[in-house]
Chains A and B, each alone.
Chain A
Amino acid sequence: MAEYNLNIPLKKSDVEKLRVGDVIFVSGYVFTARDAAHKMMLEKDASKIPFDPSIMGLYHCGPLMKKSGDGWEVVSAGPTTSERMDMFEDSFIGKFAVNLIIGKGSMGDRTKKALQKYICVYTLYTGGAGALAADKIQEVKNVYWLKELGMAEAVWIFEVKNFGPLVVAIDSHGKSIYDQVKNKIKRG
């Protein structure tokens, strides 16, 4: 189990060196996307996306935000259950060249294969730790599709600093911490 501080976008060599169980802290830009945003972005022409997802981390998060003056303040912003995005994620990674996903829960075999194919990593941030996560978000850079999708489903661009500890839960070598746990389960 190694620990790394990494800058977003992660280099290909960064992603490749990460193994299940490693702990990382990341700095740079992340964009939030839940099911509705995944679906919408997949339906749109890539040239119509108003930001560059390939230089950001993908954060499965539906934040609680508060208007503050002309801008927005993050109140609480932990991860949402990643499993809901599993049905979109392989196409999403392929289309937008994302190489860092932050979420919680687990993701299925489709995503696991896509992580291997496109060299991407799925990391876990502690579910429910929304206030703590908000503390590590330095700035709200932008928000897209707020009117169409609403606060929780909109795409928010955050600048984060030393965001973590994130646990590498599914790496780019086809290994998943959830498979390891499942294989060891004793049932009564």
Chain B
Amino acid sequence: MDLAKIKLGVVELIKKAEIELPDDVVAALKKAYDSEEGLAKIQLKNILDNIAVAKKTCRPLCQDTGVQTFFINAGVDFPNIGYLKTVITDAVRIATEKVPLRPNTVDPFTKFNHADNVGDYIPAITWDFVDGSDVFITAIPKGAGSENMSKLVMLSPGVGLEGVKDFVLNEVVNAGGNPCPPTVIGVGIGGGADLAMKLGKTALLRPVGVRHHDKKIADFEKEMIKKINDTGIGPMGIGGKTTVLDVHVEKAPRHPASLPVGLVVQCWADRRATMIIHKDGSWEVK
């Protein structure tokens, strides 16, 4: 298996995620543009023009190219799983030069900015294992404007789901224009503190407009979309009908005494791209 070729594939994956938004996100933004007027429409026009310019000129949509974040579903029969972490890390270094990416990894203690977007635990990789021999890597580079609005809360179970709704709504209202709305909101409910946040981020992998397969959760999502859009915060926080493009919820069982909620905010530039690597080393980026 040619690992150098796979490495180039991962560079392509990062490039695609940084430059081109998924069709579902673009469709949702176009729909929002059609429904807005005045200053809100100006914001969405800039957003749509920006998407076109980035694609045409092959430049990152946003100067904040984010922290490189990957979710991997590795087929257990894929022959070279052990090398993938090194391959991805090297690819991030190459992409930093080639795409290019802004140097976005600062050591909290020394303030040293690793010029190559790599450091302890970074790129952030979440592993899962699936049947078969294909590996699926999804890149979701995450910018700080939206990530700074993400939050964990450990609610008292007594507040119930209504308490979860209040928390999410309050946080979105308080965030205002900071996370570059219209946003996509990921909510993880249950598990422990770490799992709730992880579920919130995993929820962002689902395409915009796709509801949870569990009807109860789908209804919760629909209710939150309406509630948040009814606030009128609007694109960039200056008023309008579209504050969120979507709300995605994932849940895990909770401890009887806990109700953790992980809120992960994603900006309108809901960057996402997926690569499939086959066991012979061939790959495609979608």
B-binding residues in A (CB < 8 A)? 1, 21, 23, 61-64, 66, 75-78, 80-81, 83, 104-106, 124-132, 134-135, 150-152, 165, 167, 169, 177-178, 180-182, 184-188
B177 to A104, Cβ gap below 8 A?
yes
In the complex, what residues of B have CB within 8 A of residue A178's CB?
176-177, 237-238
Q: How extensive is the interface on chain B, given as a class?
A: 35 or more
- Among B102, B227, B236, which residue has its beta carbon within 8 angstroms of that of A127? B236
Taken together as a complex, chains A and B put the C-alpha atoms of A182 and B243 apart, in Å, by: 13
Chain B facing A: main interface SS = loop
A106 to B63, Cβ gap below 8 A?
no
Q: How many A-B residue pairs have CB under 8 A?
A: 158
Q: A64-B100, A80-B145, A105-B145 are in contact. Are A130 and B63 (CB under 8 A)?
A: yes
B42 to A132, Cβ gap below 8 A?
no
Q: Mark B34-45, 1 if CB is under 8 A from A, else 0.
A: 000011001100
A180 to B180, Cβ gap below 8 A?
no
In the complex, what residues of B have CB within 8 A of residue A165's CB?
42, 46
A186 to chain B, nearest CB (A): 6
Q: A127-B267, A129-B50, A188-B227 are in contact. Are A64 and B65 (CB under 8 A)?
A: yes
Look across to chain A and name the residue whose beta carbon is closest to the beta carbon of B165: A188
**Is B62 on the interface with A (CB-CB < 8 A)?**
yes
- Among A105, A128, A186, which residue has its beta carbon within 8 angstroms of that of B176? A105
In the complex, what residues of B have CB within 8 A of residue A63's CB?
63, 102
- Among B53, B178, B231, which residue has its beta carbon within 8 angstroms of that of A132? B53
B177 to A129, Cβ gap below 8 A?
no
Q: Mark B236-278, 1 if CB is under 8 A from A, else 0.
A: 1111000000000000000000000000000111000000000
- Among B54, B61, B236, which residue has its beta carbon within 8 angstroms of that of A124? B236
In the complex, what residues of A have CB within 8 A of residue B46's CB?
125-126, 129, 132, 165
